[in-house]
Each structure stands twice: as structure tokens, then as C-alpha cells.
Structure 1
Amino acid sequence: MITQITDGVKVTVETVYQSEYSNPGNDHFMFAYHITIENLGPHSIQLLRRHWLIYDSSGTKREIDGEGVVGLQPIIPPGEQHDYVSGCNLKSEMGYMEGSYQMLREIDGTVFDVNIPRFDLVAPFRMN
């Protein structure tokens, strides 16, 4: 589990290799990640956008931008959290992801970025 706090927003990431959706013989390795976004600040925030950098040990680098997360732009009140699960496929058994969320502080309309900590995507058989 990896955690980082930026401007009163705590982001925690847990990952799992999904062998049942992977096909190593065809260079397809699937990973799921569970993210918890916790609002530690005194005001409600809304997640507007996400920006991902995905690195694969095969040398591939992808960049993804989009609105919200899994089709949602959640509003997170003070002391509350938003959880979601998503996935990423790689062409090799190792890589990592990192990025940021663009947030809106509802009380004053301030837009700010929250770091998503770098997290590794590694198939368990590569760790031996």
C-alpha cells in the first residue's frame, strides 16, 4: 500500500496482479488498483480530472487524461473518502503508474492538483 498527502488530500493505492485476465504468452499482463481519496481538509472538494503516466518495462510509456474517475466526478466532504477500483494492462510483467487529480475546492472555486503516488505493477512471479 502506498500513500501520499497533497494539500489536505490523502491518496492511498493498493494493487493486485490479475492472472485470470492476463495472457503472458501474448505479452498481456493485467493489473487492478484500488484507490482511496480522503479529504483531510475543512471544505468539500470535487475530483474533476485525472492524469496518468503509465510506464512499462518493455519501454512503452502512455499518458492518459480524462474527466473524473470511472465515469464519476465525486464530491468529497471534509473527513470523508471516495474509493474506486480500475485496471491497467501492460506488455510486460513489470511497470509503474503515477499521476495527479485535478480538484476543485467548492467553497472558493480554487482548482488544485493532488499527486497520485508512484506505485509499482509487478506480476508476483517476477518478485522471486
Structure 2
Amino acid sequence: MVSKISEGIEISVETFYQPDYSNPVSGEYMFAYRITIENHNNFPVKLHRRHWYIVDSNGSNREVEGEGVVGVQPSLQPGERYQYVSGCNLRSEMGKMYGTYLMENLHSKSQFDVNIPVFEMIVPFKMN
């Protein structure tokens, strides 16, 4: 698991290889990741947008941007956490993701970026 705190928001990420949804012969590797977002500020926040960078070890890079996460724009009170699971497909056995969330301070209405730490996705048999 990797974690990072920026702008008072802690982002933790766990990754899981999904062998049942992968097809190595065709160069398809599926990973799930669980993200926990925790508000360490003394004000409530709302997540508006996500911006991901996906880097495959075969040299391909993708960007994904959009509203919310898994179809929602969660609000978090001080000390509250929100967790979700999503997935990513790679064309090689290793890759990484990182990015930002656009958040809003619900008291001041100001917006700010929160950094999502770099996390690796590696097929387990590749680590031997």
C-alpha cells in the first residue's frame, strides 16, 4: 500500500492483480485498485474531478479525466474517509498510475488539487 497526504487529504492505494480477467497470451493484464480518501482538514471537502496518468511498461501512456470517482462526487466531513474500488487494464505485465483529484473546500468554496501517489501494478509472477 502507498499513501500520501497533500492539502490535508490522505490518499492510500492498494492494488490487486486480477488473473481471472487477464489474458497474458493476448497481452491483457487487469488490475483492481482500492483507494481510501481521508479528510484531515478542519473543513468539509467535495471531490469534483479525477485526472489519471497510466504508464505501461511497454512505453504506452494514457490520460483519463472526468467527473468524480466511480460515478459519484463524494463529500467528506473532517476526519471522514471514503473508499472505492476501480480497475485498470494494461498491455504489459507492469505499469503504474498517478494523478490528481480536484477538491473543493465546502466552507470557502475554493478549489484545490490533491496528489494521488504513484502506485505500481505488477503481475505477481513477474516479481520472482
When the two structures are superposed, what TM-score results if normalisation uses the length of structure 2? 0.99
Q: Which residue of 1 aligns with 2:62?
A: 62
Alpha-carbon distance in 2 for matches of 1:43, 1:77: 7
Percent identity over the alignment is: 54
**Could you say what secondary structure the match of 2:41 adopts?**
coil
- Residue equivalent to 1:44: 44
Cα deviation, residue 82, structure 1: 0.5
Write the letter of the residue equivalent to 1:76.
Answer: L
- How far the C-alpha of 1:85 sits from its partner, in A, is 0.2
Task: Tell me the SS of whatever aligns to 1:125.
Answer: helix
Q: Partner of 2:13: helix, strand, or coil?
A: strand
Tell me, what secondary structure is at the counterpart of 1:70?
coil
Aligned partner letter, 1:32: A
1:23 aligns with 23
Q: Distance in 1 between matches of 2:37 and 2:99?
A: 14
Q: TM-score, normalised by structure 1?
A: 0.99
Find the aligned partners of 2:36 and 2:76 in 1 and give their Cα distance: 11
**1:58 shift after superposition:** 1.0
- Cα distance in 2 between the residues matched to 1:18 and 1:2: 19
Distance 1:82 1:47 in 2: 10
1:82-121 alignment, distance < 5 Å: 82-121=82-121
Please name the residue that 1:127 is paired with: 127
Q: Deviations over 1:19-49 (max 9, x none)?
A: 0100000010000000000000001000000
Structure 2 gap ranges (5+):
none
CA distance in 2, matches of 1:114, 1:58: 28
